[in-house]
């Protein structure tokens, strides 16, 4: 069993969008899925289910639906590059190229994991606030992160995607998802075609954490 150091897995869990079609051994998949079940969630109701999609025709349709949303998103993204330095723009162009690849080759990923949730089972403590509610997702996405980290640890490539959520009605029909359930994410899983995961670029602690009070520098 692949058992990376947790911190190494976390700091190299970048988006991997180019995947090989080679199958993933069942025991590997089972370990990754079990890691997802360990995630914390409100009231321990585990208000999520995941569907491992392997059927090529279904994956092809998912790829088409995904592309319909990726293409305008990527075009808009590309327009924003004009304002960047050449170095920055080159980095983002690589991301767009990887995204184009994922959209066009979605069906080649051996497994597409569709994450579903039951809104009636979510603990939503911010429902009354005058803003978009996010707490409900906290009972779903930790399971997704556990799955991603376990996939990373097993040497699999993966990326959390949400563009397909815009096509929820057709995805539900395609996969027989009951009316009362929604979709939260889709994760293509497969062995990386290229380098795979590696160092990530994120803001430092000093920018994201405060000390005792909003705005007070940490540490």
Q: Under the rule (CB under 6 A), what is the footprint of ligand FMN?
A: 14-15, 17, 99, 102, 159-163, 200
Look at the block and give the residue holding tokens 């162009």.
Answer: 93
E strands within the chain? 48-53, 111-117, 157-158, 182-190
Owner of token pair 């947790």: 6
The residue (of 51 and 159) whose beta carbon lies closer to ligand FMN is 159
Q: What sign has the CA pseudo-torsion 209, 211, 215, 219?
A: negative
The pair of three-digit structure tokens given for residue 88, joined into one six-digit string: 């920055």
Helix axes of 56-80 and 86-105: crossing angle, nearest 10 degrees: 160
Using DSSP, state whether 192 is helix, strand or coil. strand
Least distance in angstroms from the C-beta of 1 to ligand FMN? 25
CA-closest candidate to residue 11, choices 153, 209, 187: 153
Burial (0-12, 13-18, 19+ Cβ within 10 Å), 214:
exposed
Q: Among residues 99 and 110, whose Cβ is nearest to ligand FMN? A: 99
Q: Min. distance of Cβ 213 from ligand FMN in angstroms?
A: 28
CB of 102 to ligand FMN, least distance (A): 6
Give least dist CB 147 to ligand FMN, A: 13
Return the number of the residue (30 or 91) whose C-beta is nearest ligand FMN: 91
DSSP 130-173: SS---GGGGGTHHHHHHHHHHHHHTT-EE--B-GGGGGHHHHHH
CB of 183 to ligand FMN, least distance (A): 12
Q: Which of 157, 139, 134 is nearest to 14 (CA)?
A: 157
Least gap, CB of 105 to ligand FMN (angstroms): 12
């Amino acid at each position: 069993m692949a058992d990376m150091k947790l911190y190494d897995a976390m700091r190299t869990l970048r988006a991997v969008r180019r995947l090989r079609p080679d199958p993933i051994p069942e025991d590997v998949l089972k370990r990754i899925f079990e890691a997802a079940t360990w995630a914390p969630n409100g009231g321990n109701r585990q208000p999520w289910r995941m569907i491992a999609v392997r059927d090529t025709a279904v994956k092809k349709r998912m790829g088409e639906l995904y592309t319909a949303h990726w293409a305008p998103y990527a075009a808009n993204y590309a327009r924003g590059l004009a304002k960047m330095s050449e170095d920055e723009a080159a980095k983002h162009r690589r991301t767009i190229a990887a995204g184009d690849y994922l959209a066009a080759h979605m069906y080649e990923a051996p497994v597409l994991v569709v994450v579903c949730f039951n809104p009636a089972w979510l603990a939503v403590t911010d429902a009354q606030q005058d803003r978009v509610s996010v707490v409900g997702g906290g009972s779903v996405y930790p399971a997704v992160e556990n799955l991603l980290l376990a996939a990373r640890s097993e040497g699999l490539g993966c990326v959390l995607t949400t563009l397909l959520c815009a096509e929820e009605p057709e995805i539900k029909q395609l996969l027989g998802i009951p009316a009362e359930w929604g979709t939260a994410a889709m994760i293509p899983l497969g062995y990386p075609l290229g380098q795979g995961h590696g160092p990530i670029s994120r803001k430092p602690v000093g920018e994201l954490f405060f000390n005792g009070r909003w705005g007070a520098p940490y540490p």
